[in-house]
Amino acid sequence: MKGLLIRYAYILITLIPVSIYLMSFCLFEINSESSLKIKTMIVESVSGHQATPALMIIEYKARVLWLSSSLLSITAYLIALTWSVVTVNRCCQKSHLTKMSIIGFAILSLTLLQIGRADSESAMYNNIFDTTYHALKVSTLITHLLLDKIFIIINIVNVLAAVTPVFILIAICSTISTPIEMSAQKPEFFMKRMTYMKQGIMVGSIVLLFGIIHMVAWMQWPAAMLEESELKKAALNAFAAISQYWGITFSLLLICLYAAAAIYWQAQVKAILLITQADIDINKWMEDNGFTVSWQKHVLQLSAMLTPFLAGSFSSGIEMLTMH
């Protein structure tokens, strides 16, 4: 049983970030009733405002910032997808590729199903998508033609945001997919795989960072169509809390994924080197090449993994740039 778990640990590790995301989603969904009330208040307030020259300029600035965040996100998603496909092809043998494809397809199907079935009963749908979309829909500042273009862009971003992390997850886990009895490789092989794993964490961190930036720009857009008021301040504070929540979630799942993958790979490498490279000082070699659990050896990856949390926490800074 232990041998079977070790052999397929690279598959089981994919379930760690998925479990964290599902737990975060379920916890967030207890706000479904409140999210609907908040959406109604904001949409009604936006619909009652006339298009003054000042509001037109403020809204235009918020729109351009959202488009900038969309450009960042779409570019990062496409680059990340390309990296993921290349890495999986480099690292996965045919038997592994079949298993990883099944896991990836299952996770992807659940993610797309979540998007397809989202409605006003969902706090995530209300807070992150529908409040802004309905505010734009009722605003006198947004034409029907512009709204159609916005709808296309936001759907492209949302689909890529759902698909890309799954590809990155499969790519990262593929870097540690070589079973112990099939790995009579030189030390350089393990170093290259560790490099791919670290690349995956960096790519995932950048993608989730840009995802948070886009989330903030999108959620705060309706506030640009409101005059200064207590409602506007309260809404911006609520949006900042939401972005911080998901920033924490993204950083947490990245850290847990990297820790599990690195610890597993370290154990695999040590076991293999004891068999195939008995003539070298294995402990020293592993320490010199970063195969340790010491955080000092992974400070770059740790810093990158914390960026979604920091982006969510400092969304008030983006708010200041957007609204003033």
Q: Find where tokens 């003539």 sit.
A: 279
Q: What is the pLDDT of residue 185?
A: 61
Instruction: Supply angle C-alpha 69, 196, 101, rounded to 5.
Output: 80
Q: What is the pLDDT of residues 213-258, one digit of tens each?
A: 999 999 999 999 988 889 888 999 999 999 999 999 999 999 999 9
- Specify the amino acid at residue 26: C
Tell me which DSSP letter residue 8 carries: T
Res. 207: pLDDT tops 70:
yes
pLDDT band at residue 321 under the 50/70/90 scheme: very low
Tokens of 19: 């479990």
Res. 183: pLDDT tops 60:
no
| Nearest Cα residue to 35 out of 107, 130, 169, 109 | 130
b/e map 298-308, b = 16+ CB within 10 Å:
beebbebbbbb
| Nearest Cα residue to 209 out of 173, 176, 179, 164 | 164
Q: What is the pLDDT of residue 177?
A: 78
Can you tell me the distance from the alpha carbon of 109 to that of 115, in angstroms, rounded to the nearest whole number?
10
The rounded radius of gyration (Å) of the Cα atoms in the chain is 23
Can you tell me the distance from the alpha carbon of 322 to that of 307, in angstroms, rounded to the nearest whole number?
20
Residues, the chain: 324
Q: What is the pLDDT of residues 25-64, one digit of tens each?
A: 999 999 999 999 999 999 999 987 777 888 899 999 999 9
Distances (CA, A) of 142 to 53, 147, 157, 319: 14, 6, 20, 21
Q: Which of the two residues, 14 and 7, has the higher pLDDT score? A: 14
Q: What burial class does residue 294 get, using C-beta atoms within 10 Å of its C-beta: 0-12 exposed, 13-18 middle, 19+ buried?
A: exposed
The reported pTM is 0.88
Q: Find where tokens 């993204």 sit.
A: 250
